[in-house]
Amino acid sequence: MINESKAKLTATSDIILNVSNLVVSFETEKGRVKAVDGAGFKLKKGATLGIVGESGCGKSVTALAIMGLLPKPSGRIESGTIEFKSEDMVPLMGKQGEMHKIRGRQISMIFQEPMTALNPVQKIGVQMNEVYQLHFPLMKSHDMDNASISMLAQVGIASPDKVIRQYPHELSGGMRQRVMIAMALSSKPDILIADEPTTALDVTVQAQILDMINDLQAKLGMSVIIITHDLGVIAENCDDAVVMYGGRVAERAAVPDLFSNPVHPYTQGLLKSIPGFATTPKSTLPTIKGQVPSLDKMPSGCRFSNRCDHVMEICRSAVPLETEPAKGHFVACHKY
Ligand SMILES: Nc1ncnc2c1ncn2[C@@H]1O[C@H](COP(=O)(O)OP(=O)(O)OP(=O)(O)O)[C@@H](O)[C@H]1O
Ligand SMILES: [Mg+2]
């Protein structure tokens, strides 16, 4: 189940993206709330990092912050650093030109809902050429068409020369997602962020898309961040994993370590809720009691404290700092 061979491959690689103490806030009717509150993790060059957690834990907001695409003016980075190839991008976020160069060209993102990201009234080929025009302005339009066709073929589209003349609604959900991936890859990025790339698709297509991302990653030498609420996706596709809860990182480790020795009570709860992982076929799946509180009602101290079976007095008042109970295995919990 766990992809150990890939994990070994990346053991000596460098860090391409280093997010540290990231705090992102939004202005809401209830005042300014922190959607991400001190998150940090590292992405290794050529590796796949999975970010997992329940709905609302800050996965997409973290990705948007990395892309410099937080909705303005309500969203902003309060503090923290996002180092891409050792350069902090946060100070560049205000300078449109600089961020623009990094965003599309070196870090690409596939969004949660492909239909909203594609323009419904423009043919696929025209939309793909726009990406080339943006990043490679000297490219001839004939070469753009050929590049689009070749990219569509690489993402497994059978008749790419026909597809470039079609509109998004003429394609299936899986094909649209493949087009989105082709567009994201056409700038030859160093990092691909895939935000729940498969949630809208059926199970077989989901597996095909994830396999394809893995293949392309090996071929193009990219680093990948896969955002998901599904630990199975992490187990099968990622080298390293970050478990988020309430806008913070609860635990992060190499995937084999996280699955064989989860230490945060939240991670343990998530793992127990996977069918077949810690249950016999007939037992009912345990779920984590309670619900994620809304951002304006987050407990002070540990944000998981109101749902945790191991809660202690200190958890209700002090934010747990990250410790490293085993090499490369980090946890933010007062138990450690
Ligand atoms: N534009 C916004 N204005 C105010 N709050 C926001 C905004 N965007 C996101 N949030 C809040 O930030 C928190 C994190 O949202 P985010 O979209 O990152 O969650 P997620 O982990 O991606 O969830 P899902 O699995 O449902 O996609 C949520 O509480 C959400 O309501
Ligand atoms: Mg999301």
In this structure, what CATH number is given to the domain that contains residue 83? 3.40.50.300
CA distance linking residue 332 with residue 318, whole number of Å: 11
What pLDDT is recorded for position 12?
A: 40
Q: Domain total for the chain?
A: 1
Query: Strands, E, within 165-312: which ranges?
Result: 191-195, 223-228, 240-245, 248-254
Name the β-bridge partners of 26: 33, 75
Q: What tokens appear for 234 in the block?
A: 């992490």
Q: What tokens appear for 60 in the block?
A: 């997409």
CA distance linking residue 56 with residue 117, whole number of Å: 21
CA distance linking residue 156 with residue 215, whole number of Å: 11
pLDDT in tens, the chain (336 residues): 555 545 444 444 599 999 999 999 999 988 999 999 999 999 999 999 999 999 899 999 999 999 988 998 899 999 999 999 999 999 988 766 667 666 667 999 888 766 667 888 999 999 999 888 887 889 998 999 999 999 999 888 999 999 999 999 999 888 888 898 888 888 889 999 999 876 666 677 778 888 888 888 888 889 999 999 889 889 999 999 999 999 999 999 999 999 999 999 999 999 987 766 655 555 566 678 888 888 888 999 999 999 999 999 999 999 999 999 999 999 999 998
Q: Which of 27, 57, 61 to mutate to test the pocket of ligand 1 (most atoms within 8 A of CB)?
A: 61
Residue 232 within a domain? yes
**Residue 73 preceded by cis peptide, ω within 30:** yes
Residue 74 within a domain? yes
Q: What is the atom index within ligand 1 of the atom nearest the CA of 247?
A: 14
Alpha-carbon separation of residue 273 from 2, 97, 179, 279 (angstroms): 17, 45, 33, 8
What pLDDT is recorded for position 277?
A: 60
**Strand 107-110 relative to strand 48-52, pairing:** unpaired
- Cα 59 to ligand 2 centre (Å): 5
Closest residue to atom 9 of ligand 1, CA basis: 61
Number of Cβ atoms within 10 Å of the Cβ of 287: 10
Residue 198 within a domain? yes
Enclosing domain of residue 39:
4-116+189-267+322-332
Q: What is the atom index within ligand 1 of the atom nearest the CA of 295?
A: 29
- Cα 8 to ligand 2 centre (Å): 29
Residue 254 within a domain? yes
What pLDDT is recorded for position 216?
A: 85
Residue 155 within a domain? no
Residue 306 within a domain? no
Number of Cβ atoms within 10 Å of the Cβ of 336: 16
Element (H, E) at 185: helix 173-185
Residue 309 within a domain? no
Q: The whole model's pTM is what?
A: 0.89
CA distance linking residue 307 with residue 265, whole number of Å: 10
Identity (one letter) of the amino acid at 75?
G
Ligand having the closest approach to the CA of 32:
1
Residue 98 within a domain? yes
What pLDDT is recorded for position 215?
A: 86
What pLDDT is recorded for position 212?
A: 83
